[in-house]
């Protein structure tokens, strides 16, 4: 893939799942990768897998809901790698205490709403705010965010999680505001991807079977499916793509 070799990419949420697969793909393309995550043990394990292949990678513990922690993540990337060329936001609170208690509007506790917005949306604003001055100073850079198919389709549950639609709006804001200054910002919108987190919060077998039957693909998504798209959007091959939300869902949601 053109233009990733030597790039310095921060993966905010790179310890496992889509984030880890993307970190591995970026490293395979020659990028230096910062694996940021609240789960430092898993982040270190991911970074070690990359360095064992000869890639440049480091793990940094950070909390997406803490502005100082987010800034420290970016500062570490600058001090250790000399700068930042790209950011991939993929972290989210998918815990049973948050996503597991996310029901319809009447049933969902406001604490779940606040935590979901704080991490899944405001956290992306914090990471973007931290890297944008660096990208603007060098006159180039790319940000890729992770939204969700639930941002486009109605759902009778997980009312708070559907605030992922705000990430789509944030993406368009960054692209339209700073595109003329060399900044690209795009978004991937996954369908049902079978990650460790998804397996823990999965619906019952009957619901999963119905979801698979309804989609035109032969299978659910894998983290690697998203990793290739994210790497492309961060690369020079994607330099004329800006402000777009890419649905990556096996055809599970057919839309323009």
Out of 88, 124, 161, 178, which one is annotated catalytic?
A: 161
Q: Is 88 a catalytic residue?
A: no
Q: Tell me the pairing of strands 245-248 and 183-190.
A: parallel
| Residue whose entry in the numeric block shows the structure tokens 């704080």 | 118
| Residue whose entry in the numeric block shows the structure tokens 């070690």 | 48
Q: Which residues contact 154 (CB under 8 A, 6 or more apart)?
A: none
Q: Tell me the pairing of strands 86-89 and 8-12.
A: parallel
- The dihedral built from the CA positions of residue 32, 14, 181 and 78, taken in this order, carries a sign that is negative
In the Cβ-directed half-sphere of 44, how many Cα atoms lie within 13 Å?
4
Separation of alpha carbons 46 and 35, rounded Å: 8
Separation of alpha carbons 33 and 45, rounded Å: 13
Phi, psi (degrees; rounded to nearest 5) at 51: -70, -30
- The DSSP output letter for 237 is G
- The DSSP output letter for 193 is B
Active site residues: 161
């Amino acid at each position: 893939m053109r233009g990733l070799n030597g790039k310095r990419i921060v993966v905010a949420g790179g310890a496992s799942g889509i984030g880890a697969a993307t970190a591995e793909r970026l490293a395979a393309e020659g990028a230096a990768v910062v694996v940021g995550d609240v789960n430092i043990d898993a982040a270190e394990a991911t970074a070690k897998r990359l360095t064992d292949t000869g890639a440049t990678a480091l793990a940094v513990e950070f909390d997406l809901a803490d502005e100082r922690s987010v800034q420290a993540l970016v500062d570490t990337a600058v001090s250790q790698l000399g700068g930042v060329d790209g950011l991939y936001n993929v972290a989210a609170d998918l815990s049973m205490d948050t996503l597991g208690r996310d029901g319809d509007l009447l049933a969902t506790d406001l604490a779940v709403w606040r935590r979901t917005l704080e991490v899944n949306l405001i956290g992306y604003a914090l990471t973007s705010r931290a890297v944008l001055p660096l990208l603007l100073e060098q006159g180039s850079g790319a940000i890729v965010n992770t939204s969700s198919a639930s941002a486009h389709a109605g759902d009778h549950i997980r009312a708070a999680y559907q605030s992922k639609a705000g990430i789509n709006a944030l993406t368009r804001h960054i692209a339209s505001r700073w595109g003329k200054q060399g900044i690209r910002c795009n978004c991937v919108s996954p369908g049902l991807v079978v990650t460790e987190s998804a397996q823990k919060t999965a619906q019952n077998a009957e619901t999963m079977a119905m979801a698979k039957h309804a989609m035109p693909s032969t299978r659910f998504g894998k983290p690697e499916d998203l990793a290739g798209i994210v790497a492309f959007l961060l690369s020079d091959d994607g330099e004329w793509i800006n402000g777009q939300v890419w649905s990556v869902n096996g055809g599970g949601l057919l839309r323009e």
